[in-house]
Amino acid sequence: MDTSTVIGACGTVLLWTGCTAPPAINGWSVGEPTVVAGLSAPECCLFDPASGNVFVSNIVAAEGDNPYWSDDGAGHLSLLGADGVVHQEKWLAGDAENVIHAPKGMCLLGNRLWMADNTRLVSVRYGDGTDLRVISPPGAVHLNDMASDGTHVYVSDTTTGKVLRIAEDGRTETVANIEAVNGLTIHDGTMFAVSWGLHEIYEVDLSGQREPRPFGLAEHFTTLDGIEVLKDGTFLVTDFEGGRICTVSADRKTVETLALMPTPADLGVSRSNSMIYVPSLKTDVVHVFPLIAR
């Protein structure tokens, strides 16, 4: 496989892999990816439609038995352009007074950027990263991914299996219980979630009155991490240990491999630019794929 290397902003290495794009799947295919290096255990990519930039959460893996969940104050957020060029390697980094440990899933609500940070939720003004605030949901163990419905933020706790709704004043309620719940997204007023351990995708009732509805596709996956929904209703999911980005048809029946890459985590989508941003947690890079509609 041929590769070429270009040095981008901040000395970031951008690698064009020279791969041939696979055929269109479920109405979609991807073009040749750009690989953005120089990150540190990137876990989540979040596209901001207002600025056209991409936030990347960097866990900065620690030593020991639990390297991605350490309360070590070492985590930070990077800021990329829509093309994947790094604008700021450490757009937001903690300090003695405003600690960031191991940031993972993120979402936007109003003028604030939220991130899951082990047992805490951290939010800042997304324009400049100031006014850091912390909420500690009762009983939280491993807070993972986040989503917003425009009024509240939601967070998954992979260890307790809870999907929590958080009000801006910190009030917390459980809206769903899914074993090993990981990635979350909200599309047209409906939440969808994936389970790392059960390998399944679920439709979640945000009122909490109905049990989560599984798609019945667990046999196709290994460990599911992230989930997004495209404009035509096609689902994108990342299979972390399977090393795949997959599409699931809008009727929830057909699963296909869209692209292969190592340890894909919580992906982000730019619908306006038709791009997907997929962090590779264990190789310290983000893959930027042009998304092509058939």
Render pLDDT for 260-274 as a digit per residue (tens, 0 to 9).
Answer: 999 999 999 999 999
> Would the CA dihedral through 270, 127, 57, 69 be positive or negative?
negative
Tokens found for residue 135: 């909420």
Q: How far apart are CA 178 and CA 195, in angstroms?
A: 7
Query: pLDDT band for position 25 (50/70/90)?
Result: low
216 DSSP β-pair partners: none
Answer yes or no: is pLDDT of 135 > 70. yes
Higher pLDDT, 5 or 110: 110
Mean pLDDT of 159-173: 94
Answer yes or no: is pLDDT of 276 > 50. yes
Q: How far apart are CA 102 and CA 40, in angstroms?
A: 11
User: What secondary structure, in 3-state letters, does the chain show?
Assistant: CCCEEEECHHHCEEEECCCCCCCCECCEEECCCEEECCCCCEEEEEEECCCCEEEEEECCCCCCCCCCCCCCCCCEEEEECCCCCEEEEEEEECCCCCCCCCEEEEEEECCEEEEEEECEEEEEECCCCCCCEEECCCCCCCEEEEEECCCCEEEEECCCCEEEEECCCCCEEEEEECCCEEEEEEECCEEEEEECCCCCEEEECCCCCCCCEECCCHHHCCCEEEEEECCCCCEEEEECCCCEEEEECCCCCCEEEEEECCCECECEEECCCCEEEEEECCCCEEEEEEEEEC
260 DSSP β-pair partners: 244
Q: How much is the pLDDT for 5?
A: 30
Query: pLDDT band for position 173 (50/70/90)?
Result: very high
Q: How much is the pLDDT for 23?
A: 54
Tokens found for residue 205: 């009732």
User: Are 266 and 145 a contacting pair, CB within 8 Å?
Assistant: yes
Mean pLDDT of 188-203: 97
Mean pLDDT of 146-172: 96
Spatial strand order of the sheet with 190-195 comes to 181-187, 190-195, 201-204, 213-214
Percent of the chain with pLDDT over 70: 91
Answer yes or no: is pLDDT of 253 > 90. yes
154 DSSP β-pair partners: 147, 165
User: Are 228 and 235 a contacting pair, CB within 8 Å?
Assistant: yes
Answer yes or no: is pLDDT of 293 > 70. yes
Domain 4-293 -> CATH class: mainly beta
Query: pLDDT band for position 29 (50/70/90)?
Result: very high
Answer yes or no: is pLDDT of 18 > 90. no
Q: How much is the pLDDT for 56?
A: 98
> What's the predicted TM-score (pTM) here?
0.91
Closest to 287 in 3D by CA, of 270, 264, 254: 264
Q: What is the mean pLDDT of the chain?
A: 91
User: Are 15 and 37 a contacting pair, CB within 8 Å?
Assistant: yes
* pLDDT tens per residue across span 61-106: 998 888 999 999 999 999 999 999 999 999 999 888 889 999 999 9
